[in-house]
Chain A
Amino acid sequence: MVVRLGGNTMVNEKMLMLVRMFLVFLRIGPSTFGGGYAMIPVIEKEIVTKRGWLPQSEMGNLVTIAGSAPGGVGINAAAFIGYRVGGIPGAVAAVVGITMPTFIIVCVLSLFYSVFEHQVKVAAALKGIHGAVIALIILAAYRMAKTALFDWTTKAVFAAALLLLLFTSVDQIIVMLGGIGIGIVAVVAKERRGHKAKTEKSEETKDALGLSYPEYYI
């Protein structure tokens, strides 16, 4: 009896934790428009300061992992925290929580779009927004360039990748694999010649950049 009761309490606590995890990220999801690194301070406040689910010392790790793995920074950070706190179910609860609000908003927009897409004014407004989206893409490229292009190798790889994409029909994934190959070869070659290979822009400049202005829509 007692054992079963104890078991039930544990199951209930686990369920409660999952629900809490889901609800916290449900709130974070749409609160920062766009996600990306702009979401990191919000996550820090909600998860580290208010709930203590992650020690402050892990924040650096979190930002590195969330920014380096494929996918949106916000979704990655949610998955990482969810896993740390509640294993795989925790990660799933966090990711579903952070994704659901925008999913619902986008579905509603989709309905509106299918009703109004043939309106001349709606089409014109979307063409205007297209211009703004291009501006945001340029901004994302500029920000990425500031941390990614810091020596001759990275600048040459950037130029080569851009030219290949613009003037040939080489698949984007092939170009990405090429970049990975060049990165490994370049670091090995530099170290063979006795140089210390720097694979990242130094920390101070990176941090200063990260906070100078928020990055949207990543």
Chain B
Amino acid sequence: MASLFEMFIVFIKIGVVSFGGGYSVLSLMEKETSAHSWLADGKFQELVSVAGTAPGPIATNAATLIGYEANGLSGAIAATLGIVLPSLLIIILVAAISFRLFDNKIVKSSLYGLRPVITGVIAYSAIHFGFLSHQSSLLTWQTVATLIISAGALLAVIKYKLHPIMVILASGVAGIVLF
């Protein structure tokens, strides 16, 4: 059984750097999960897919799922508390010190440099989950089919304004047909 406290601490660390919401920490989460061998190989991606089918931020959902897989209900609680706690503390701190903290010049210039990095991190996540995480060669049926579904999903959300939950359900059906 993985140490609950260790899990809590790792997810606090992930929570602290989760600027730009959840997507920016997915690859970090994968790294930490395999470093602590919380999940069997290849399971992370499946869990992120499961996380996508539930309401709520995908990173928080993924944290709950990883905690549950590794340590049962207490693991789920430890991981979720860990990833949410930094947000709570930072917001309380900001609200207590000054509502105008984000008007501060140093804070503004920091965010000016940080936002493009977060954009890069999210773009990296997309590439990483799209191509790089399949160990075998780049052009497998698996990769091609995944990309076809991705392109379809993108089109459905942007052009046809379909609700993401419908897109997720449709992709699940497409998965059953294609794989």
User: Which residues on A are within 8 Å of B, measured CB to CB?
Assistant: 29-30, 32-36, 61, 64-66, 68-76, 79-80, 83-84, 88, 91-92, 95, 99, 101-103, 105-107, 109-110, 113-114, 117, 121, 123-141, 144-145, 147-149, 153-155, 157-162, 165-166, 172-173, 175-176, 178-184, 186-188, 197, 199-200, 213, 216-218
Say whether B10 faces chain A, with CB atoms less than 8 Å apart. Answer: no
Whole-angstrom distance between the Cβ of A181 and the nearest chain B Cβ? 7
Max chain B Cβ within 10 angstroms of own Cβ: one of A155, A179, A180, A213: A179
Q: Shortest distance in angstroms between A57's beta carbon and chain B's nearest beta carbon? A: 11
19 A-B pairs within 8 Å (CB atoms) are namely A69-B94, A80-B91, A80-B94, A91-B91, A95-B88, A106-B54, A107-B68, A109-B53, A123-B46, A124-B176, A128-B173, A130-B146, A131-B171, A132-B168, A135-B153, A137-B126, A158-B117, A159-B120, A165-B120
CB-nearest residue of chain A to B109: A187
Among residues of B, the one whose C-beta sits closest to the C-beta of A117 is B46
Question: Which of B90, B117, B146 is A161 in contact with, Cβ under 8 Å?
Answer: B117
Q: Is the CB of A161 within 8 A of B121?
A: yes
Q: A79-B88, A172-B27 are in contact. Are A35 and B56 (CB under 8 A)?
A: yes
- A176 contacts B102, CB within 8 Å? no
Distance in Å: Cβ of B103 to nearest Cβ of chain A: 9
Q: A108 vs B169: C-alpha distance in the bound complex, in angstroms?
A: 18
Taking a contact as CB atoms closer than 8 A, the residue among B106, B116, B146, B173 that contacts A179 in the complex is B116
Contact of A137 among B18, B106, B122, B151 (CB under 8 A): B122
Query: Top 3 A-B pairs ranked by shortest CB distance?
Result: A128-B175, A183-B113, A131-B149
Complex CA–CA separation, A107 to B91 (angstroms): 27
Which one of A64, A147, A172 lies within 8 Å of B121 (CB-CB)? Answer: A172
| Known contacts A139-B157, A199-B109: A175-B87 contact under CB 8 Å | no
Most buried by A among B51, B112, B147, B165: B112
Secondary structure type dominating chain A contacts: helix
- Which of A99, A128, A175, A181 contacts B84, CB < 8 Å? A99
CB distance from A148 to the nearest CB of B (A): 4
Size category of the binding interface on chain B: 35 or more
Q: Are B154 and A106 in touch, CB under 8 angstroms?
A: no
| New A-B pairs, 11, CB < 8 Å, besides A128-B172, A135-B152 | A65-B91, A70-B87, A83-B91, A109-B50, A109-B53, A126-B46, A128-B173, A128-B175, A141-B125, A173-B28, A175-B120
Residue of B nearest to A217 (CB): B58
Q: Are B55 and A30 in contact (CB under 8 A)?
A: yes
Name the A residues within 8 Å of B50 (CB-CB): 109-110, 113, 126, 129
Are A132's CB and B116's CB within 8 A?
Answer: no
Instruction: Verify if B138 is at the interface (C-beta below 8 Å from A).
Output: no
CB <8 Å contact, A70 and B16: yes
User: Are A135 and B176 touching (Cβ within 8 A)?
Assistant: no
Complex Cα gap A186–B114 (Å): 12
A148 with B80, Cβ < 8 A, contacts A30-B56, A64-B102 known? no
Across the interface, do B91 and A110 meet the contact criterion of CB distance under 8 Å? no
- Which of A113, A137, A138 has most B Cβ within 10 Å? A137
Taking CB atoms, residues of chain B closer than 8 Å to A99 are 56, 60, 80, 84
Evaluate whether A129 and B113 lie within 8 angstroms (CB atoms) in the complex, with A72-B22, A110-B64, A140-B23 already known. no
Give every chain A residue within 8 A of B51 (Cβ-Cβ).
106
Expressed in whole angstroms, the Cα–Cα distance for A173 and B106 within the complex equals: 19
How many whole Å from A25's CB to the nearest CB in chain B?
12
Given contacts A106-B51, A183-B112, contact A157 B157 (CB under 8 A): no
